[in-house]
Structure 1
């Protein structure tokens, strides 16, 4: 949704202010992964949108469009993409806009951009590149000409002047020109003098500029960075800021505490002024300082059960994509429950025709893209980070301990699980840990749920006044020699247990009926609507997931090869060669017994 529409709707529906976050493009692949994790956590605060900065030219500028696609398509965050004129011929601008459009992005912050930096780290004189634009207003006009009203277009505003223009009236004229060319909202440069800012707001309105004013809020995290940024941006620092910060400048914690109180006071004055009802937080890719300010302003949305954790109710049991191509998507295979990034990448080329009635089409067709859609590596951590997180397991007991650490929340991810576990597993946690102690390595699971309210803080999803259901599901790695006994057990309970089992050589065993296309393992019943079945198990998906899972193990092994951890290489080879990937569903969701665990105990 366009930002101006989101803000209008939000402020019509409630009285409290809204907020958003800005992130910049990291320089390393591990930095990108860390940023995704931070963005995912900050999603829980329910920002109206985030924005992603643009780096003029080179690899990082192209990475901006990748970040936008992921935040929109995987993380479900309304995203605004910065776009600058610096080092950007029209052909490159066209490419960036096309990628943003295809990703479902509907918001662009159109900027002239800063001058490029030379080899000495110094700013050069700003000049338009060949076949490029000189001013932001030209970029605004071009976007509007090419895409009509698809994009909401934001522009920069400078309440305390610009280094290249010392005339306030001329700056207001330039802002008015950008608005007249089609700008829908403005985001301001950072500032600390709130009185000066509000005087500027009055002048903006007097000049006939009526689009939303979104103030850029820069938290104070350390004294040197505070001074450096104010000098670089040439902005005024009120006396009381210096009087309070100067005495504690050598204590970063005190600086942050004092700075937070100052920024809370500044923001509250903004919100009381009538000019502003939205705050845009310059995060510098950090989270704590911004969240401290929003918390003290009482703008963070709390769950309805009094927890400290921020938990918005999801419309589906998985994060719904904001890419309009996926708006009909209401069903996903459970196998990618902990790997949403690779699932969305695999299906990124689908169109709306491939989500008939919310679920994908004929399972005999090639529904999933190639693995290389998922990026350079299926393991989203660098080799160094991988070793830091998971060390070098050398024995089956080491592997058990690794998975157990993830189950207990000591690890936030595993090579095959990109996201942390939630409290849904609490009821079956001791069983999962026991299985791993016996070298049955659990991959994915869910407990059975029989008609809990859709507002339940742990398993709830969808509209209120509904009820949700789940079949117990377990995915695990089983030593190959135990597969026959497992099959015998399932045969004895074939009235309610169904399974798929496959090894790395594609030897498949199953007791699923041949004519059964999909087995719904999660569903919801809501007033005035059809029953939703958003999570399923089915053969075609499982075969695609099997390919991905064993590829993940092989890539993980390569990190040990590079690290010269021979025993770890041997361990992963042993698992690939001697274990079978299995998923089993207990279709008796009414029974209160933990049937799957009780039966798997017979394999010990």
Structure 2
């Protein structure tokens, strides 16, 4: 959705100011993965109207720039398609010939991103960038001004994109004449810009006066102030210096005496920024704040909390924050998707990558679609590695389990929140597992290693804080589900106990594709989560079915192979041998207890008798 449309609709309904977050592309692959988790957490805690991804193409050769271009567009596509966040992509003229601009625009278009911030960009840095850092030159075949870029986007894509441009309340570093800056701003808006995001500032009075001048110059598009939190004294001075930003004396009077106490600087700096924001909001010129997070979490949320802009618990539940048991993709090619196999509950990145070429018409009526779909395509779509951790981070998180007891303890550390992920679970556990926790811990301590689970739910209201999802005034249901690893020698006992059982259904498979099951029709999907809502059909968003389980099996065992290889490369041969045993001597099994009314943990009772 376009930013201006979204903000207009929200403000008309609530009258409450809104906010957004800006993030930059980290320099390392692990930093990118951690940023995804941070963006996800910050969204869940605050519900920003959109997030904004910077374009870091200002330093280095064209070959380096192409790599940064790929990182930027990948981050935008993931935020939009996987995390389901309304995303705005920066696009600069620096080091960007038209062909690369076209590639970036096409990537944004295909991912469903409708919002761009068109910038000239900072001067290239260093000799590889083509400049000494203080003079901006256009790349051959590129654009000289942001207004040129805006015109090009409009000519190529019409009204598809909502285009923002930069505003400079205290003047551009290369142009201090305020009249010229207003003239250039007007030129960018006349070229087709829809909104303005300003550079950072700390002087609220200067900002309000600039807004008055902008309106007096005939520029009527929304003005969005850029807000820079204060985290440390050194960073505060450095960032103000970069942008030639005026620091009011009262900021220095408060912060200078405590400059060596980072925690106190953040506390008092937040109070100053909150006061500044309130003055800006009270001016009547703006009703939205754009927070430069610098990829940090606490300071932005502190500002919003003190401004009373964070949503209440009631607003977080049942208001569209969780229309499905996962956050819905904002990629238009996936807008009708309402079903996902439960196997990817904790693997949203690989699932969306695997299904990225799945056409919309393969989601008929919100159902799972044809099992011959490319949804189960090449795992290389997920990237070079399926373990979303660096080698160093993986060893820190998961150590070097050498025995089955060590492995069980590792899984239990995840279940109890001591670690935030496992090789096969990218996201932290939520409180849904609390009612099963004691029994899951017992299974892992006794050599049955749990992978994924959910408890039975019989008619919980859709606004329930733990289990709720979907529209208001509905009811949600779940069948108990457990996925786990079972030693080969216990499979026969499991089969014997489930023989003739029509209530508990299972799939079991090993590394060599020995598949066994008691499903009466294994090709049909078994809904394990569903909701009943007023005035609409039943939603069945989470399923178990054979073909997707086979695809998940390939992914799961490949994850184990990668983990084993990582351990071997670090000379942890005993640990690598343990994982090799799991790969070759354990079955991957899922069981569904279709009696969702039962108060018994029938799956646990079954497994403890093997």
What is the TM-score when the length of structure 2 is the normalising length?
Answer: 0.97
Corresponding residue number in structure 1 for 2:581: 574
Task: Write out aligned runs for 1:191-230 (5 A).
Answer: 191-230=201-240
The answer as to whether partners of 2:318 and 2:472 remain within 8 angstroms in 1 is no
Cα–Cα, structure 1 residues 187 and 529, in superposed 2: closer, same or farther, change >3 Å?
A: same
Task: Give deviations 1:519-540, integer Å, cap 9, x for gaps.
Answer: 0000000001001100000000
Corresponding residue number in structure 2 for 1:185: 195
Corresponding residue number in structure 1 for 2:160: 150
Corresponding residue number in structure 2 for 1:371: 379
How far did 1:232 drift? 1.7
CA distance in 2, matches of 1:86, 1:118: 13
Corresponding residue number in structure 1 for 2:6: 6
The answer as to whether partners of 2:318 and 2:463 remain within 8 angstroms in 1 is no
SS of match in other structure, 1:58: helix
Corresponding residue number in structure 2 for 1:436: 444
How far did 1:304 drift? 2.8
Task: Write out aligned runs for 1:53-72 (5 A).
Answer: 53-56=54-57, 57-72=65-80
How far did 1:136 drift? 0.2
Indicate yes or no: 2:418 matched with 1:417: no
CA distance in 1, matches of 2:234, 2:50: 29
How far did 1:360 drift? 3.1
Corresponding residue number in structure 2 for 1:537: 544
The answer as to whether partners of 1:213 and 1:276 remain within 8 angstroms in 2 is yes
Corresponding residue number in structure 1 for 2:288: 278
SS of match in other structure, 1:215: strand
CA distance in 2, matches of 1:565, 1:125: 52
CA distance in 2, matches of 1:178, 1:72: 26
SS of match in other structure, 2:486: strand
Unpaired runs of at least 5, structure 1: none
CA distance in 1, matches of 2:522, 2:504: 17
Cα–Cα, structure 1 residues 383 and 330, in superposed 2: closer, same or farther, change >3 Å?
A: same
The answer as to whether partners of 2:25 and 2:55 remain within 8 angstroms in 1 is yes
How far did 1:365 drift? 4.8
Corresponding residue number in structure 2 for 1:557: 564
CA distance in 2, matches of 1:204, 1:139: 21
* Pairing partner for 1:338 from 342, 346, 349: 346
Indicate yes or no: 2:488 matched with 1:488: no
Task: Write out aligned runs for 1:183-332 (5 A).
Answer: 183-304=193-314, 313-332=321-340
CA distance in 2, matches of 1:364, 1:96: 31
* Pairing partner for 2:173 from 160, 163, 188: 163
The answer as to whether partners of 1:154 and 1:186 remain within 8 angstroms in 2 is yes
How far did 1:83 drift? 0.2
CA distance in 1, matches of 2:607, 2:571: 36
Corresponding residue number in structure 1 for 2:61: none
Corresponding residue number in structure 1 for 2:60: none
CA distance in 1, matches of 2:571, 2:319: 42
Task: Give deviations 1:405-447, integer Å, cap 9, x for gaps.
Answer: 0001111110000001111110111111111011100000000
How far did 1:278 drift? 0.5
The answer as to whether partners of 2:433 and 2:454 remain within 8 angstroms in 1 is yes
CA distance in 2, matches of 1:319, 1:393: 34
Task: Give deviations 1:75-129, integer Å, cap 9, x for gaps.
Answer: 1110000000001010110000000100110000000000000059951421111
CA distance in 1, matches of 2:319, 2:485: 32
CA distance in 1, matches of 2:340, 2:95: 41
CA distance in 2, matches of 1:393, 1:127: 55
CA distance in 1, matches of 2:247, 2:454: 54
What is the root-mean-square deviation in Å for CA atoms of aligned residues? 1.5
Corresponding residue number in structure 2 for 1:34: 34
How far did 1:378 drift? 0.2
How far did 1:362 drift? 2.1
Task: Write out aligned runs for 1:88-103 (5 A).
Answer: 88-103=96-111
Corresponding residue number in structure 1 for 2:474: 466
Number of equivalent positions: 600
Indicate yes or no: 2:520 matched with 1:513: yes
Corresponding residue number in structure 2 for 1:46: 47
The answer as to whether partners of 1:449 and 1:468 remain within 8 angstroms in 2 is yes
The answer as to whether partners of 1:330 and 1:534 remain within 8 angstroms in 2 is yes
SS of match in other structure, 1:129: coil
* Pairing partner for 1:76 from 77, 84, 92: 84
Unpaired runs of at least 5, structure 2: 58-64
